[in-house]
Amino acid sequence: MSALPITRLSVKEAVSRRLLLAGVLLSLAFLVLFALGFNALYSRASEAGQGETALAGGIMTILGLYIVQFLIAFLALFLATGAVSSEVDSGTLHAILARPLSRRSWLGQRWLAFAGTIAVYAVLMAGILLMIARVIAGYGAVAPLRAISLLVLEGLVLLSLGFLGSTLWSTLANGAVAFSLFGMAWLAGIIEFAGEMVGNDLMRNIGIAVSLLVPSDALWRGAAYYLQSPAFLAVSAVDDAGGAGPFGGSAPPSAALIGWSIAYVVLLLAVAARRFAHRDL
Amino acid sequence: MADLPVSTAGLRKVYGGSTALEGLDLEVRPGEVVGLLGANGAGKTTTVKILLGLVAATAGEASLFGRGVGDPEARRQVGYLPEHFRFPDWLTGAELLDYHGRLAGMPAAERRGRIPEVLERVGLAGRGNQRLRSYSKGMTQRVGLAQAVFAHPRLVLLDEPTSALDPIGRREVRDLIRDLREDGVAVLLNSHLLGEVELVCDRVAIVDRGRVVRAGRLDTMVGAGTQIRVRLDRVDERALALLGGFGEVVAVDDTTVVLTAEGSDPAAEVAAELVRAGYGLQALIPVHRSLEDIFVGLVSGSAG
């Protein structure tokens, strides 16, 4: 039972923070609100006809998961931004690293704890939301497991980004940088979508370049594609825009995107471990 | 030599442009309490942090039990109380100890038995189930000490362990250090409190601006080099030359000479020589030097 003591403590820490408790309550409130709103809108759409119900169910589900995606991202960024720096600044780390424990191991175990927290949160939130859509509207996503996996991967990408920053900068500076990068990726996703619409290569390339730097939004679009129902796909294919508009996804994620995202996590963690190993505390 | 609890040679540390350590040599032997004495900023904490691998030395060598300080295994038998001990304050005292025991590789059954034992030892019996955020400053320091000695270390590094304690707490820390020594545990004690060090240490290393300016057994350091204050009717070249034969003249004015004499008690000889040479000897006072005198003499000029 003495395996991974840092992971155990970090999970305990995440759970014991009041912030997280508030987060859980708000998340539950969001799910209830979603269920009520979805029910109201869906019953109105079902009066209008078959095509309308498929469209309404699809849009509502994807927008609901779009909010969930933000919640996952915020959780990842909040956990990550002070993951290392706040421990160093507060001085709690000194007594711990004086034990026969390498810094690499400490960092890895802490990352694992937060990654687990994010994964559990993502699976629960997205799973419950899809369940609500299924019960109310009989909505079934094309590939829910793939979609949820991509949401988890997005969380891990942002977690690793915040982790690296946390070994380089103060908590506050890192928070500003990490949230800006996340915002930038989101904006670039919209620019890329607009580029697709008007056929502008420059706008498309900006989106792709930013996705390489921070693949979070691209992963969301991949997840959003898999979250559509077959009926929704059929209806939305009639529109030029495709998918759920500027916030959704019109194509399945490429293998290159998934590969790069996994490599991105590993790479960022490796750099973080390297930076942290040689730092004076 | 290889397995000394602490051994450093020519330890040097430069932070940015400023030098914290300038060739520090230090040894701590098993069962020995060594005091690292110095003003704030002299390099005491840096030394301890290098030993624990928290800070990387710019140059020089440091080892714990013969293992280089870069190796986490070197810290297997080490307990450490940082100067400003912080901890996750949502843990209870017992949970903190359990956690550190686990990090040190102690089996669960052994940890369970050891927790009440150590809490009792540091005067926190019955407080183990209280959350650390409700602990007072003194209790925090005590649980920090408990954490340092919890996993049966063979070397304990204490960085200003008594700074937050009242006189009774300080005495208890001294007793704890003596107990550790009896068990054969080596202790390196950082302090700027001279009295503290004088009461408990076998050896002292006085650190000033990143180097050991004086090191040795406390009894010989305090006993050796007795100062003698001599008052004469006149002080001239001949008197100084005569006194210079007994030791080093450290202060002179019109009627008084202070010299640091070697040997056990040269006062009688000095008196006889002066009278034989025709001086009017008005007073001759041997001054027993305290550690504080030695310290102030060595560390003069550096602002606290």
- The alpha-carbon gap from A112 to the nearest alpha carbon of chain B, in Å, equals 17
| Pair (B233, B125) in one structural domain | no
How many DSSP H helices and E strands does chain A contain?
Answer: 12, 0
| Pair (B192, B257) in one structural domain | no
Q: Do A2 and B90 touch (CB under 8 A)?
A: no
Q: Given this model, what pLDDT does residue B300 score? A: 63
Query: How many independent structural domains does chain A possess?
Result: 1
DSSP symbol at A33: H
Q: Given this model, what pLDDT does residue B304 score? A: 38
CATH of the domain at B13: 3.40.50.300
**A60 occurs within a structural domain:** yes
Q: Do A1 and B108 touch (CB under 8 A)?
A: yes
CA–CA separation, A70 and B87 (whole Å)? 32
**A4 occurs within a structural domain:** no
CB-nearest partner of A5 from B73, B102, B157: B102
When the pLDDT of each residue in chain B is averaged and rounded to a whole number, the result is 87
Give the closest residue to A114 by CA, choosing from A28, A15, A24: A15
- B267-302 burial string, b = 16+ CB within 10 Å, else e? beebeebbeeeebebeeeeeeebebeebbebbbeee
| Pair (B208, B238) in one structural domain | no
Do B179 and B192 touch, CB atoms closer than 8 A?
no
Question: From the candidates B6, B54, B55, B152, which should be mutated to test the interface with A, based on the most A CB atoms within 10 A?
Answer: B54
Q: Do A95 and B147 touch (CB under 8 A)?
A: yes
Last residue of a domain, one of B200, B218, B236: B218
| Pair (B102, B160) in one structural domain | yes
Q: Do B104 and A99 touch (CB under 8 A)?
A: yes
Last residue of a domain, one of B218, B252, B267: B218
Adjacent-strand bridge partners of B230: B257, B284
Full DSSP string of A138-181: ----S-HHHHHHHHHHHHHHHHHHHHHHHHHS-HHHHHHHHHHH
What is the count of residue pairs from A and B with beta carbons less than 8 Å apart?
71
Give the pTM.
Answer: 0.83
CATH of the domain at B262: 3.30.70
CA–CA separation, A57 and A136 (whole Å)? 9
- The alpha-carbon gap from A9 to the nearest alpha carbon of chain B, in Å, equals 8
Query: What range defines the domain where residue A171 resides?
Result: 9-277
CA–CA separation, A203 and A194 (whole Å)? 7
CA–CA separation, A170 and B119 (whole Å)? 36
| Pair (B147, B269) in one structural domain | no
Full DSSP string of A218-229: HHHHHHHHHHS-
Adjacent-strand bridge partners of A202: none
Query: How many independent structural domains does chain B possess?
Result: 2
**B16 occurs within a structural domain:** yes
**B294 occurs within a structural domain:** no
* pLDDT of residue A119 exceeding 50: yes
| Pair (B156, B268) in one structural domain | no
Q: Which residue is closest to B156 within chain A, CA to CA?
A: A98
| Pair (B78, B175) in one structural domain | yes
CB-nearest partner of B56 from A16, A99, A280: A280
CB-nearest partner of A99 from B81, B85, B100: B100
CB-nearest partner of A281 from B54, B72, B108: B54
Whole-number Cα distances in Å, B234 to A204, A257, B97, B252: 98, 95, 68, 11
**A122 occurs within a structural domain:** yes
CB-nearest partner of A100 from B75, B85, B90: B75
Query: What range defines the domain where residue B258 resides?
Result: 226-288
**A149 occurs within a structural domain:** yes
**A3 occurs within a structural domain:** no
Residue B119's pLDDT band (cuts 50, 70, 90): very high
Do B187 and B180 touch, CB atoms closer than 8 A?
yes
Q: List residues of B whose CB lies inside 8 A of any A CB.
A: 15, 49, 52-56, 72-76, 78, 80-82, 84-88, 90, 99-100, 102-105, 107-108, 144, 147, 157
**B117 occurs within a structural domain:** yes
Q: Do A95 and B108 touch (CB under 8 A)?
A: no
Per-residue pLDDT tens digits for B78-100: 999 998 888 888 899 999 999 99
Residue A28's pLDDT band (cuts 50, 70, 90): very high
Q: What is the separation of C-alpha B269 from the centre of its chain, rounded to a whole number of angstroms?
A: 36
**B59 occurs within a structural domain:** yes
Question: From the candidates A99, A101, A107, A110, which should be mutated to test the interface with B, based on the most B CB atoms within 10 A?
Answer: A99
Residue with the bigger pLDDT between A65 and A17: it is A65
* pLDDT of residue A241 exceeding 70: no
**A1 occurs within a structural domain:** no
Q: Do A98 and B76 touch (CB under 8 A)?
A: no
| Pair (B61, B186) in one structural domain | yes
| Pair (B173, B262) in one structural domain | no
Q: Given this model, what pLDDT does residue A213 score? A: 92
DSSP symbol at B247: E
CA–CA separation, B101 and B106 (whole Å)? 5
Q: Do B75 and A99 touch (CB under 8 A)?
A: yes
Per-residue pLDDT tens digits for A164-198: 999 999 989 999 999 999 999 999 988 888 888 88
Q: Which residue is closest to B48 within chain A, CA to CA?
A: A98
Share of chain A above pLDDT 90, in %: 50
Structure tokens at B167: 């006189």
Residue with the bigger pLDDT between A12 and A70: it is A70
**B149 occurs within a structural domain:** yes
Give the closest residue to A167 by CA, choosing from A224, A87, A242: A87
**B148 occurs within a structural domain:** yes
Among A107-116, A259-268, B118-127, B217-226, name the one with the lowest average pLDDT: B217-226
Which stretches does DSSP call E strand in A30-138? Answer: none
Whole-number Cα distances in Å, B270 to B123, B244, B274: 53, 10, 6
Which stretches does DSSP call E strand in chain A? Answer: none
Whole-number Cα distances in Å, B173 to A16, B139, B152: 33, 12, 17
Among A69-73, A108-112, B27-31, B82-86, name the one with the lowest average pLDDT: B82-86
- The alpha-carbon gap from B165 to the nearest alpha carbon of chain A, in Å, equals 20
Per-residue pLDDT tens digits for B46-57: 999 999 999 999
Q: Which residue is closest to A2 within chain B, CA to CA?
A: B102
